[in-house]
Chain A
Amino acid sequence: MSSVIEVRKLGRRLKQAGGEKAILNELSFELASGEFLCIMGPSGSGKTTLLHLLAGLDLPDEGTILIEGKAMDRLGEDGRAILRRERIAQVFQFFNLMPALSLRENVALPLAIAGRPAGEQRARIDGLIERFGLGHRADALPSALSGGEMQRASIARALAGGQGLLLCDEPTGNLSQQSGLEVMQSLRRLRDEDGKSILLVTHNPRDAAFSDRVLFLVDGRLDPDHELRGPGLEVERIHRSLAELAI
């Protein structure tokens, strides 16, 4: 199976008043095509920083990131933007929907950015909205949606561009338990039915249990001894690893 993401000796430091602090250190891992990988870690472990590096929103101080064989650090800012547009979709903890746009328009945004024709947009977007059970709210503004609806809209938006890789940053962090469950089921279906490659960062063991493999990020390093592999990851097993790592 080919790798969608290859990370080699990745390092990111943060400048602070007293010097530099390593946020990520010597990080190496791969995400195979069609795999659902979860990276767990406590708050401040560098999970979100890692996602930003993978999305090309930030650049590493050391190491390399290959997205479908393309080295991120060799691309300019616009090159990375186009890579995101074509290959990487994202789902955010805080949804990040445009407050002025309706749900339909939010979902259509990646197509608008890519300059796709309106006809193509409509057919694709309506299908996505229906798929996530949001047809009746298509014209509503984000302020009128519930948290679960907003996150499902956010996932629909992530699928609109047709990218094969999905980076998810604590997608259930702002949702009720029921809404969170629905969102995770949606993500799992994307892996199983659409063959999407998914990288999820979370600190929630229930969310991690939906993945094929779990890596633990502690103090900016991946712990090689506690990697968990599916299928059928049990929440208790994840809890045990977390306890062993004192997370």
Chain B
Amino acid sequence: MHLRTVALRSLLARPGRTLFSILGIAMGIAIVVGIFTLDHNTLLGLKGPGDPDWQADLRVSPEGGITDPRAELAAIPGVAGVAAFFQNEADLIDAAEDRPARVRLIGIESSAVDAPALYRVLAGRGLAPGGVLIGAALAESRGLGPGDAITLTRPKRGARRICVDGEMKLVEPENQLEDRRRSYRVLGVLAPERLGRRSGGDVVLLDIADARDLFADLFARVDYLVEKDPKVDIERLTSSLGHAFSFELNQDVLIGQAADERAFRNGVRFAGLMALGLGLYVIFHVLSIALVERSREIATLQALGATRRQVAGLFLGEALVLALGGGLFGLGGGIGLARLLLALRITTLGAGRHIDVFEIPWATILPLAAIGCGIALLGSVYPLLRMRRAQVARAIRGERNLDQGPGLGFRLFAVVLVTVALPLLFLEIAPVVGEQKEAIQAVLRVGIAAFAVLLGLPLLLPGLLGHLAALVVRLLGRVFPLGALVAAREIGRRPLRLAVGAAVLAMVAAAYTALQGITASLEAEIDRWAAVAVAPKLFVGGLDGREVAEVDRALAGIPGLIAHEKGDLRAYVPFLLTGVDEKALLAAKVFADPERLDRFLGGRGLVVSTRLARDQKLAVGSRQAIRTGRGQVESFEVLAISDAVGFFPYPDERIYAVTTEETMRRDFCLDTAKADRLALVFEPGRDAASFGAAVSRALTPPGDEARAPLVIPGAKVAADARLDVARDFVLFDVIILLTAALGGLGVLNGQLLSALERAKELGVLKSLGCTRRQMAGLVLVEAATIGLLGGLLGAALGLLLNPVVIEALQIVSAFDLPLVNLNARALLAALGAIVVSLLAAIYPMVKVMRMPTARAIREG
């Protein structure tokens, strides 16, 4: 026999404990691995295949009047790189003077030190004045390579189609370009990525000074390619740009990076951290109790001549099996969990999105799993190292040093490891999404502090919870006198076990209550918004571009109709810009000040939605640069902040601005005479259903029911929005559910160990005439106490944290959230904790009921 056999036998002899220990570690790791795998695939899936014509993070156009746009851009926070950019078509003639090839010519700054990575060279060297880089396709088709000479000419300019005073016109160039040609040396061949992908590789890159030389007459406007600093939030960058630059945002950059998405993803990640921490906390406790319980075995081994190293190696082996087993199952389980959630269309950016890719982010999940394994390992080995000679001598006499449980040193170590080291390591591997603002740091600190207090206090001051538990037991004693008596003694002797179980359930109950607080506040915010934005409206779709005048005539007889807003007047600048007429504006009572209304109607004013205002930090009086359909950048003034006009459902977009219909017609060439969809504003107090029925009747062509318009009351839009919140938060529900299972596992482990340790005294109780039912009662009273105490504490903590959580959410998202009374939901959380605890007690209860009395008394 090898000494390893002892470790192996020990694991096999206690299959329940081994299984539950591995399960505890695995569940904690699986949740966190699942979350990060899910997040990775959510972003990957939503990004899609990407633009075949590659886009930079932002393409920025300066407003007229900015003297040094490049310097201004470089000074804006969030701009990691800037490169002046010009592109046009050109004709390429090679040395053979064959027919010219039409290519995309791109001029960029070749010497800017802060230029973003715009290309990669496949062969040859980088860009320099006087030389060009050519795309791989072009190099292949024309047989060109580094060192070859080429000539570029500018083609004749064609007519451009632009919006001029409300009409799309083909505008001939004012002056035709003179024929100009320049010769260049090919410096290198571009790899087919980034700018090298443009026009399928039929691209020529040259220095912007050379481009200026070739296209001198066209250099009225230079755009800039901007690389976003990933450490700065997108809205901070765009709000800084907004006053003087219009910009086109690469939508791929935005995926998962909008304020609300960041808040959601960070929330999910924090939930993952909490789950991992809870899992390790539970396992720490279970393993430490197990080791203390096995102190006699350790002592015997030492008495038989085993050195401390041998004993340590033995237990390290056991701990390794548990930790690695937990890690492997956790990895597999986490990947499986992510797959399952994706199959159920649950993502880290809400539910209902179809993701058809699956990739495992090993670089993130392996270190996370390793942290889990490492901490579980430390937790199981540490108590062993703390064993003292005196404990060995006592243990060998059969004096089990169980009443005190693990020593203060170990408990302190566990607290530091789980509540300090784990979050720090976690954040090192998986930093918060978005900018590391002071506000985010503060939110994180509060979250981790709450986590640390809730998990740390029971370990460091178990007696505190023991006293509270005694009060609960006294209450239960009226119904279960025997169970309460025994439970009270047990809690008095070993408050730590109860405290840990209660703390775990309290954490879950607090998380549930806080989550309920978030969803309730989001729903309340929707209600508040809906009362202004959608409640007094009826949304009508499927009009098939009908003449608005005709629609007006059809609706003329319907009482209560005040105004309508057209849903088709939409442009992205890059946020949604829509247009309303004066009647709709007056009906919405947006302007109290007639002077502002006049300025708005003058055509360069904006009403911005509350979310856009928060997102872009806009206030009344702010200026916003908008690129019109003519290609010019114009400055608009924010004249009001309101949700009362401009919202249309499907797709929901609450970040938008409103200007006049006339501006949308004149500057964006949108047709204001026809409509596919309308929002009808009706008088307050009017019954939406009958109003909707009347509208439907009026707009349905006689005898053609199939062409009946789609009529959606505002209340339905609000209800759908509320439903979306519930659906989007289903991921949190899943995490809470898994964490509750983890908490239950902790209680189960604790109760099971308690039953095994107290086998002798339970045997004595049986021998004194306790029935099986009474025996079950003993376990249940203890479990109920743990559940009740954990539930009440968690609910109270959840209620206390709710304002902090909501405040934090407001800081990190663009939402203005009201606080909601959560008492009923907190009570539900407390009841849930009791149910989880009682369910977790079933297995230990069965064990106690089936315990052979004689052996229990003899062997203890």
Contacts and interface: CB of A to CB of B under 8 A. Distances in A.
B304 A84 contact: yes
B850 interface: no
Interface residues of A, number: 39
B308 A78 contact: yes
Contacts of B396: 52, 57, 92, 96
B239 interface: no
B6 A100 contact: yes
Contacts of A132: none
Contacts of B307: 77-78, 81-82
Contacts of A114: 305
Given A52-B396, A113-B3, A58 B304 contact: no
Contacts of B304: 84-85, 90, 109-110, 113, 157, 161
A59 B303 contact: no
A4 B311 CA distance: 28
B17 to A, nearest CB: 11
A44 to B, nearest CB: 12
Contacts of A98: 6, 9-10, 297, 300
A161 B6 CA distance: 17
A95 to B, nearest CB: 9
B1 A105 contact: yes
A81 B308 contact: yes
B773 interface: no
A100 B305 contact: no
Interface in A102-129: 105, 108-115, 118, 121
Most A C-beta atoms less than 10 A away, residue of B297, B305, B390: B305
A44 B349 CA distance: 69
A101 interface: yes
Nearest to A100: B13
A230 interface: no
A112 B393 contact: no
Interface string B65-109: 000000000000000000000000000000000000000000000
Contacts of A49: 393
Contacts of A86: 305
Greatest chain A CB density within 10 A among B296, B393, B398 is at B393
A14 to B, nearest CB: 10
Interface in B381-426: 389-390, 392-393, 396-398
Contact of B302 (A48, A57, A93): A57
B553 interface: no
Most buried by B among A52, A86, A105, A115: A52
B303 A109 contact: no
A67 B517 CA distance: 71
Contact of B303 (A55, A115, A121, A143): A55
Interface in B291-333: 296-297, 299-310
A57 B13 contact: no
Interface in A121-152: 121, 141, 143, 147
B464 to A, nearest CB: 24
A122 B385 CA distance: 32
B305 A85 contact: yes
A109 B1 contact: yes
Interface in B490-526: none
B859 interface: yes
B309 A57 contact: no
B855 interface: yes
A157 B305 CA distance: 12
A69 interface: no
B2 to A, nearest CB: 6
B3 A57 contact: no
- Residues of A contacting B: mostly: helix
A121 B1 contact: yes
Given A57-B302, A59-B389, A100-B9, A143 B296 contact: no
Contact of A105 (B9, B389, B398, B858): B9
A94 B398 contact: yes
Given A57-B303, A98-B297, A108 B6 contact: no
Contacts of A52: 393, 396
A112 B2 contact: yes
B303 A112 contact: no
Interface in B1-21: 1-3, 5-6, 9-10, 12-14
B262 to A, nearest CB: 51
Given A105-B1, A105-B5, A108-B1, A82 B305 contact: yes
Given A100-B13, A105-B5, A112-B2, A143 B306 contact: no
Interface string A40-66: 000000001100100101110000000
Contact of B389 (A58, A99, A112, A147): A58
A101 B6 contact: yes
A161 B303 CA distance: 12
Nearest to A99: B13
A100 B12 contact: yes
Contacts of A81: 302, 305-308
Contacts of A161: 304-305
A55 B13 CA distance: 30
A57 B395 CA distance: 11
Nearest to A167: B303
B301 A58 contact: no
Nearest to A94: B398
A82 B310 CA distance: 11
B1 A118 contact: yes
Nearest to A79: B307
A179 to B, nearest CB: 13
Given A96-B296, A100-B9, A110-B304, A143 B309 contact: no
Contacts of A118: 1-2
A112 B5 contact: yes
B309 A96 contact: no
Nearest to B7: A100
B1 A96 contact: no
Nearest to B392: A57
A149 B393 CA distance: 24
Nearest to B5: A105
B532 to A, nearest CB: 69
Contacts of B390: 58
B81 to A, nearest CB: 61
A78 B312 CA distance: 13
A57 B301 CA distance: 11
A113 B306 contact: yes
A143 B14 CA distance: 13
The 8 lowest CB-CB distance pairs between A and B, nearest first, are: A85-B305, A100-B13, A100-B9, A96-B300, A84-B305, A81-B307, A94-B398, A52-B393
27 contacts: A48-B397, A52-B396, A57-B299, A57-B389, A57-B396, A58-B389, A58-B393, A59-B389, A77-B307, A78-B309, A92-B300, A92-B303, A94-B398, A96-B299, A100-B10, A101-B6, A105-B9, A108-B1, A109-B1, A110-B304, A115-B3, A118-B1, A118-B2, A143-B855, A143-B859, A157-B304, A161-B304
Given A77-B308, A99-B13, 14 more contacts: A59-B389, A77-B307, A78-B307, A81-B305, A81-B307, A86-B305, A98-B6, A100-B9, A101-B9, A105-B5, A105-B6, A112-B1, A112-B2, A113-B3
